[in-house]
Amino acid sequence: MTVTAQPIIVGSERSEVGLPAGMAVLRAGGSALDAVEVALRHCEDNLADHYVGTGWLPNARGEVELDASVMIGSTRGFGAVAALQGYPNPISVARAVLERLPQHALLVGDGAALFAAECGFARADLLTEEARRVWHQALRDTEEGVEGENTDATPGDAAYRRAALAVVQRLAPHRGPWGTTNVLALDRSGELVCGVSTSGYPYKYPGRVGDSAIPGAGNYCDLRFGAAACTGRGELSMRATGARAVVEHLARGADPGTACSAMLADVATLPDEFRAELRVLALAPDGRHGAAAGQDGSVYAVMTADSVAPEVRPRTVA
């Protein structure tokens, strides 16, 4: 690439922890890919954030499973991992899939963990005591009601199975911020990169994979038109191929904010008894950016080469 662009990095809620490190890479002339990885690693290592990386709230079986992906705008190269256990920085493992295993784009579960081990990534216990306490608190009442220690064995077993299924069905995501963190970056060479890292829904069914590891759903990047990434109800984004839809709107000439709102308007027409908010963020190759959400108060963060700190911007309410 011969283009000289003004570097910029944008991110979803809670990305402020990592954006300064990503911008430091860009200011030094580093690549958008390095900037995205560094920024997301800072977010994954933030123990105060229970929705990404170490310290996440576990699935319904008490296990932490992580998803992440990275996509390169100039080649549309894509690398991802999903349902990864035991490795605290899934964004780095996703990048390794992109660069070291080019015949594939997505690894899941045990295969993703095997690959992480082969690449030399360090293992870690991802379930912190604080996350464990929150998880147990949420499950405590149900556990007391379904143990069935003093009932006849057969009816008790049946009652427990029904109650266990009810736990999986009734536990909604925490009312705080959604688990996914998006970071999109444009470097001086004009390269555009989009990265996503998430722990998914708290108390999710084991093995559940959301949109974050799926190209076109939670993450899409095409240097000709722009990049987009989603947070929130990933099942809706998968059904609408949400990130790809935003980039298609950019290709037709929409500004980033309008492109994001148009995708959410389409998603709103889909039936979903488990409907929850979906948010989206976009960055164009010329540095324009925008975001949309379904409710007031939703924000995203921006840094340019001149920024002292991340600037929080409101998302358009779709």
> What is each CA distance from 78 to 70, 125, 184, 256, in whole angstroms?
6, 27, 14, 22
Q: Two tokens at 217?
A: 């759903």
β-sheet with 181-186: strand ranges across = 106-108, 78-84, 66-72, 192-198, 181-186, 8-11, 299-304, 311-314
Ramachandran angles phi, psi of 20, nearest 5°:
-60, -40
Q: Two tokens at 35?
A: 């900037």
DSSP, residue by residue, 34-67 = HHHHHHHHHHHT-TT-TTSSTT----TTS---EE
- CA separation for the pair 103, 263 (Å, rounded): 31
The residue from 75, 151, 180, 258 that is catalytic is 180
Strand partners of residue 157:
none
- If we measure between CA atoms, which residue out of 210, 22, 200 comes closest to residue 126? 200
Provide the 8-state DSSP code for 161: H
Q: Two tokens at 64?
A: 């932490």
- Residue 73 contacts residue 191 (beta carbons within 8 Å): yes
Q: Is 128 annotated as catalytic?
A: no
Q: How many CA atoms lie within 13 A of 80 on its CB side?
A: 30
- CA separation for the pair 56, 52 (Å, rounded): 6
- CA separation for the pair 235, 212 (Å, rounded): 10
Q: Which residues are catalytic?
A: 180
